[in-house]
Amino acid sequence: MLISEIIRAKRDGDTLNADQIAAMVEGISTGAASEGQVAAFAMAVFFRGMDHAEAAALTLAMRDSGDVFAWDLPGPVIDKHSTGGVGDNVSLMLAPIVAASGGYVPMISGRGLGHTGGTLDKMDTIPGYVSQPSNTLFRRVVAETGCAIIGQTAALAPADKRFYGIRDVTATVESVPLITASILSKKLAAGLGGLVMDVKCGNGAFMDDLARAVELAESLTGVAREAGLACNALITDMNQPLASAAGNAVEVANAVDFLTGAHRDARLEAVTLALAGEMLALAGLAPDRAAGLKQATKALESGAAVEVFGRMVTALGGPADFVEAHASHLARAHLTRPVPAPEAGHVAAIQTRQIGLAVVELGGGRRVASDAVNPAVGLTGLVDLGVEVAKGDPLCLIHADSDEAADAAQARVLAAYSIGAAQSVPDPVIQIIA
């Protein structure tokens, strides 16, 4: 089958059949489809869309482009995946909370993308932590501690790896069928029994309006269920950073403080516990989501979750005293600088994408895929929407390695924050698609 004919058919708005889609995915995996052809295909899908059957066929073909895990564990295998946000360190707390409640969470996470942070970059700030373990080590840690947060291996959905890299640089990420197939191919290959999607909605998310977020959530849950994977979705607010920290080491520190109870951001807590409750209910570990939320809260408050987190970090090569001594293990930036509010009033709006870009500006994210990220830099103490500030009060604290980078980040933060009259603040959990 000629790749160019498949692209032509999609360009002209035809519906592709499963054989055409499988041939395209094979071309992506083997390299038989050139980079230009893959980009043209992505753009054709971006503009023409795909129906449900096409998205499902693309998902399954991408899943089958590599290894598919099978687990034999004494409890349900369940995971969560976020569509990407700013200050979104939920996974670091959620995986141990669910593991401490009887679930097994083999969490295969990604690197930062554009203005959004990546769980893998955060885990990589922990000295010694092996975020790309062998399959044997990965399996052992999941079995023994209940969870392991690692990166995508080369053998898992390799078609997505190449396709995603090309989409990232050809402005074709924000397509519902392409995001659906990209996420679910990896999750199906991970051998899950259940998946809860955290679909972010707002000015810091890939889907900035509710109708698009619902469309994506319904596509993800529909295709997943058709492929035999139990899946519900929460649509959560991303009109402000979720944690009060954005960056890599600073978000890890925020997560450890959350787990120990030293400091918990309220919106982050609401989203994390809602997702945990949903996961426990979906996995059959709780009779319903309200009971799941109670169980998750207990796992957090009892210290069981932080204990699991500590064991996971150690099992994957991190320091044995990471929880107690994280401040001494995590990299620190050379300088810190508060960003003073330019006037008095309430925080009326935050351009969340700009906050993510401020982190990129500091070196905490990537401009191109090959960039190394600086673990130490970022923002802490980010002031929430609706909070009243006096002129000169800090909107956040910048952690930077140079004055120039701090200047650029400060300009972004000031442009991101609008100070004015008090506004109503969206609920952190907007909608549940079950």
Structure tokens at 235: 């649509």
Q: Binding pattern to ligand URA, positions 296-315, x when CB under 6 A?
A: --------------------
Residues 42-101 that bind ligand URA (CB under 6 A): 83-84
For residue 22, give Cα distances in angstroms to 29, 65, 146, 148, 176.
10, 10, 35, 31, 19
Distance of CA 55 to the CA centre of its chain: 21
Residues 103-132 that bind ligand URA (CB under 6 A): 110
Please choose, out of 43-51, 175-183, 194-202, 397-405, the segment that lies near ligand URA by the rule CB under 6 A: 175-183
3-state SS, residue 155: coil
What residues are labeled active site? Answer: 79-82, 119, 167, 182, 186-187
Kindly tell me which of 110 and 117 has the beta carbon lying closer to ligand URA. 110
Q: If residue 237 lies in a helix (H) or strand (E), which one and from where to where?
A: strand 230-237
Please choose, out of 4-12, 38-46, 179-187, 369-377, the segment that lies near ligand URA by the rule CB under 6 A: 179-187
Q: What are the residues whose beta carbons fall under 8 Å from the beta carbon of 164, sequence distance 6 or more? A: 182
The answer to whether 195 contacts ligand URA (rule: CB under 6 A) is no
Kindly tell me which of 156 and 282 has the beta carbon lying closer to ligand URA. 156
Residue with tokens 């109708």: 211
The answer to whether 183 contacts ligand URA (rule: CB under 6 A) is yes
Q: Which residue is nearest to ligand URA (CB)?
A: 182
Q: Rounded to the nearest 10 degrees, what angle do helices 3-11 and 18-30 cross at?
A: 120
106 and 79 Cβ atoms separated by less than 8 Å: yes
Distance CA 70, CA 104 (A): 13
SS (H, E, C) 76-102: CEEEEEECCCCCCCHHHHHHHHHHHCC
334 and 183 Cβ atoms separated by less than 8 Å: no
Distance in Å, CB of 116 to ligand URA, minimum: 8
Please choose, out of 8-16, 69-77, 174-182, 194-202, the segment that lies near ligand URA by the rule CB under 6 A: 174-182
Distance in Å, CB of 8 to ligand URA, minimum: 24
Distance in Å, CB of 185 to ligand URA, minimum: 9
Distance in Å, CB of 83 to ligand URA, minimum: 5
The answer to whether 151 contacts ligand URA (rule: CB under 6 A) is no
For residue 58, give Cα distances in angstroms to 50, 104, 215, 317, 432.
10, 27, 18, 36, 26
The answer to whether 182 contacts ligand URA (rule: CB under 6 A) is yes
Contacting residues toward ligand URA, per CB under 6 A: 83-84, 110, 164, 173, 178-179, 182-183
